[in-house]
Amino acid sequence: MSDEATPGMVKITIDGREMQVPAGDLLIAAAEKAGTYIPRFCWHSRMKPVGLCRMCLVEVEGPRGTMLTTSCTMQVNDGMVVHTESDVVKKAQEGVLEFLLINHPLDCPVCDKGGECPLQDQTVSFGPGESRFVEEKRHFEKPIPISDLVLLDRERCILCARCTRFSEEISGDPLIEFVERGSGTQVLTFPDEPFASYFSGNTVQICPVGALTATAYRFRARPWDLQAAESTCPHCSVGCRISVQSSQNQVLRFQGVDVDSTNQGWLCDKGRFGFEYLNSPDRLSTPKMAGDDGLQEASWIDALDAAASGLMSIIDEHGPGAVAGIGGARGTNEEAYAFGKFLRSVVGTGHLDAQIGDGLEPRLLAAPADRGLIGDLEKASSILVWGPDLKEELPVLYLRVRRAATELGAKLVVAHPRRTGLDDVATHTLRYRPGAGQDLLRRLAAGEGDAGAALAALKEGPTVVITGLAGLTEGPDLAEAVAAFGRDLPDATVLPVARRSNVFGALDMGVSPALLPGRASAVDDGARATLSGHWGADVPDGSGRDTAGIIEGLEAGAIRAVVLLGADPAVDFPDPARASAALAGAELIVAIDMFESVSTSMATVVFPALGFTETEGTVTNLEGRVQKVSRLLPGPGGARPSWEILEDVATRMGGSIGATSAGVIATEIEKVAPAYAGATWDALNTAFGRDGIVVPTADATQPIEYVPVDRPSAPVQRDLVLHLARVLYDGGTTVQRGLSLAKLAAEPAVYITPQDAHRLGVADGSAVRLSGGNGSAELTARFDDSLTPGAVYLPFNLGISVGSGLEVELEALA
């Protein structure tokens, strides 16, 4: 090593070993990078150091002699000389461990953490051999539930404050705190306020002892019995990296894996505990066919024959344009690609959509100009979030924005019809009535009135603009106009978002009337011709229908058959009643799904599909980052991969989609889909465990780059308008089929401002009738003073729907 330190590095000496470490690093982190592990409990690399467990004490030489100090609170300085193994340090560390253990119950044999417990591990490595403590240990009632998902054992707790700091610093819902003091200090919730955080499971994962346990995992396995595989969370499009852990062919838990690009170790509780649906006894395990008495179990041969012959007879009679496909946004890229190829090349239809009438312009999602990365938030000076409440729809993106606005000092502008999870850390919050968002956008762009300060903030680049559908009564134009506004800011990247887990992958795979695989345009004759060459089949032109169009087509009789891939439009379409009625009129529905649903109840044939953890493949997140999902489990009985089912149907129709394995499909994608060139199966496997591959890579050409268009529209003026938006825990399959999450879904209610309520004679908690564009419902009214006046808010998919029209009426019921 030369005497000169590399720029950005400083030279320090640890235990006589000279080394270069990054300037500004905390000593504990620098030492670890350089190969010296200093024991710790309270320090966590993703949270601010607090230096309170005192485990990481080391000696640092200084002008006034050697000083005992916590290495988690000390930044490295050039020339620093550190001792981590001196007698003084060893005695101090042994002393701290002995102190931690005197009141610890040492019930490791019955503790979930046993076997993966930092207290166990570090006691073995750094602790005293035996205890000298003969007094009675501290006792608390144990365990106590602090939420529906988390139990607290205060006897095991070593008061490292990781959980309390997480809830305050990272997730922003400080519902747990130290109470009492001295040896009576304990972590507790506040009276009558449970630890109702969307992120509570992270505290279980970062607890260095077994003090916090999850109801979903408690007493289910020992760590050494678990099989594990890294994968990508299937619950939303953030694409959090997880470790899937199972025992005896059952998924038992998901743990967050720390990757810089996406989740930085954290997960939301829906992601963490939402695995339970995979183990549900309701999983489909055999094909089913419509009989006189609903769906009946059928053999694979009969079901495949029925699906193929049904599709062929409709094609024969009405042409391939009478067939449509909806879905593909919940599975892998390989499944979506197989779905798109099946529909376009085997059926010959251009009516296919991965979005369910609740999305944005597909080209804006798949190939936006000036697309940003989540990581851009780390260096952003300003952020605009105009779209969904990220805490409800993309929770870990919420954490990343929150971190940028709090820890990293970015100015945050949030525009939404009501309070969002980010409002308390926003520098500017803007409200608008659904239907009048463009008015606000004009005012923001012009810097008028209260929007002036927000505009000034957004002109401080770098800026990240996150945009999406704020509510389901809004069309996609507003988000696109926001994206166009964002591009005009001096130094901005744009991140258009949609929620469904692999919607970005499905669009990239061409499951959209407008898109061909690899972000090519379906109206581009050349691109279609190239694809025809690859597939050896004609590719229909780009005039196909999206989901709304397909539903219209069903209503009009133009569409007669629908293939559903992991989609339930009868529930997920913004106007579910309309979609349900339309599907009921279909002559043929072929559904591939993990569960029966409202939509499959109308199907002719239902195929049991393997799901997450049961199939391998790739997924693409909202940044265009391709990551792998792993297969760890066999799945239930006769369920098969969706692509294999599609291949078997194709074969019976006299065609083929060439789907023999996920790897084979992935290899074809790399060849056929221009933006995915270079993202080979091997490359993805290599990038697995790190940050995945953002497509297009430097070696690939992305055929289209979509420049968002601002299409001004006149504001809709109505007495009362509907804000229809998603909540994290809703009536969806992945929530309702899991024991832990199902009970967290809220009771449906309609929210109204106290002023509007007064005008309408409605009291908080009273019964009202809400009437909308397609139906009416009786439900409870709740006051929400954060709502923009003249609007009511109805959470989507909690069992109540009045259609997705903007205009609603509300009347008090006696």
Partner 1 sequence: MTDRILTTRMDAHPADSNVLARYEATGGYAALRTALASKTPEEIAAEVKASNIRGRGGANFPAGVKWGFLPPETRPRYLVVNGDESEPGTFKDRQLLERDPHQLVEGIALSAYALDVRQAFVYIRGEYPRPARRLQRAIDEAYEAGYLGTGILGSGFDLDITVHLGGGAYICGEETALLNSLEGRRGEPRIKPPFPAVEGLYAKPTIVNNVETLSNVPFMINQGGAAYDAIGPEGARGTRLFSLSGHVRNPGNKEIVMGMTWRDLIYGLGGGIPEDRAIKAWIPGGASAPWLLPEHLDEPVTIDDVGRLKTMLGSGAVVVMDETTCVVKAAHRIVRFFAHESCGQCTPCREGGSWLERMLARIESGDGRMMDLDLLLDVSDNISPGLTWPPKMTTICPLGPSATAPVTSIMWHFRNEVEAHITGGGCPL
- Summarize as ranges the residues that interact with partner 1 (CB under 8 A): 50-55, 57, 68, 70, 73, 88, 91-92, 94-96, 98-100, 102-103, 132-133, 135, 158-159, 161, 177-178, 180-185
**Nearest distance from residue 391's CB to partner 1, in Å?**
25
Count CB-CB contacts under 10 A for residue 142. 15
C-beta closer to partner 1: residue 3 or 135: 135
3-state DSSP assignment of residue 496: strand
Nearest CB to partner 1, comparing residues 51 and 790: 51
Output the 3-class SS for 409-454: CCEEEEECCCCCCCHHHCCEEECCCCCCHHHHHHHHHHCCCCHHHH
CA-to-CA distance for 418 and 406, rounded, in angstroms?
A: 21
Pair 249, 627: CB distance under 8 Å: no
Task: From 360, 349, 368, select the one nearest 387 (Cα to Cα).
Answer: 360
Nearest to 213 by CA among 66, 339, 112, 319: 112
Three-state DSSP string of 776-792: EEEEEEEECCCCCCCEE
Amino acid at 206: I
CA distance 345 to 323: 12
**Between residues 180 and 192, which has the closer beta carbon with respect to partner 1?**
180
- DSSP 3-state helix, strand, coil percentages of the chain (rounded to 5)? 30, 20, 50
Number of C-beta neighbours around residue 62 at 10 A: 12
Say which residue the tokens 């997920």 belong to: 572
Type and span of the H or E element at 551:
helix 547-556
- Of the pair 159, 722, the CB lying nearest partner 1 is at 159
Contact (Cβ atoms closer than 8 angstroms) between residue 332 and residue 302: no
Cα angle vertex 741, ends 204, 798, to 5°? 145
Tell me which amino acid residue 348 is: G
- The least CB distance from residue 73 to partner 1, in Å, is 5
Of 56 and 495, nearer to partner 1 (C-beta) is 56
Nearest to 384 by CA among 362, 428, 414, 407: 414
Write the CB contacts of 760 (distance below 8 Å, at least 6 apart in sequence). 752, 810, 811, 812
Is residue 184 exposed (0-12), middle (13-18) or buried (19+ Cβ within 10 Å)?
A: exposed
**What phi, psi does 408 have (nearest 5°)?**
-100, -5
Contact between 163 and 187 (Cβ < 8 Å): yes
Q: Which of 293, 326, 340, 320 is nearest to 589 (CA)?
A: 326
For residues 362 and 515, the answer to whether their CB atoms sit within 8 Å is yes
State the DSSP string of 301-356: HHHHHHHHHHHHHHHHHH-GGGEEEEE-SSS-HHHHHHHHHIIIIII----EESS-
Residue among 9 and 50 whose Cβ is closer to partner 1? 50
Report how far residue 804's alpha carbon sits from residue 814's, in angstroms, rounded to the nearest whole number.
Answer: 26
- Helix axis angle for 118-126 and 87-102, nearest 10°, is 140
Query: Which of 15/98 has CB closer to partner 1?
Result: 98
HEC readout, 647-687? HHHHHHCCCCCCCCCHHHHHHHHHHHCHHHCCCCHHHHHHH
Q: How far is the CB of 152 from partner 1 (least distance, A)?
A: 16
If residue 811 lies in a helix (H) or strand (E), which one and from where to where?
strand 809-812
List the beta bridge partners of residue 694.
Answer: 625
Q: Cβ closer to partner 1: 185 or 532? A: 185
Cβ neighbours of 738 (radius 10 Å): 21
* Least Å from the CB of residue 168 to partner 1: 10
> What's the min distance (Å) between Cβ of 38 and partner 1?
15
**366: phi then psi, degrees, rounded to nearest 5:** -80, -35
Beta carbon of residue 137, minimum distance to partner 1 (angstroms, whole number): 11
Tokens standing for residue 746: 């809220």
Output the CA torsion sign for 228, 229, 233, 239: positive
Q: How far is the CB of 408 from partner 1 (least distance, A)?
A: 16
CA distance 285 to 216: 24
Residue 95 or 658 with smaller CB distance to partner 1: 95
Which residue, among 113, 36, 123, 114, has the nearest Cα to 76 in the 3D structure? Answer: 36
Q: Following CA atoms 356, 361, 367, 371 in sequence, which dihedral angle do they give, to the nearest 10 degrees?
A: -100
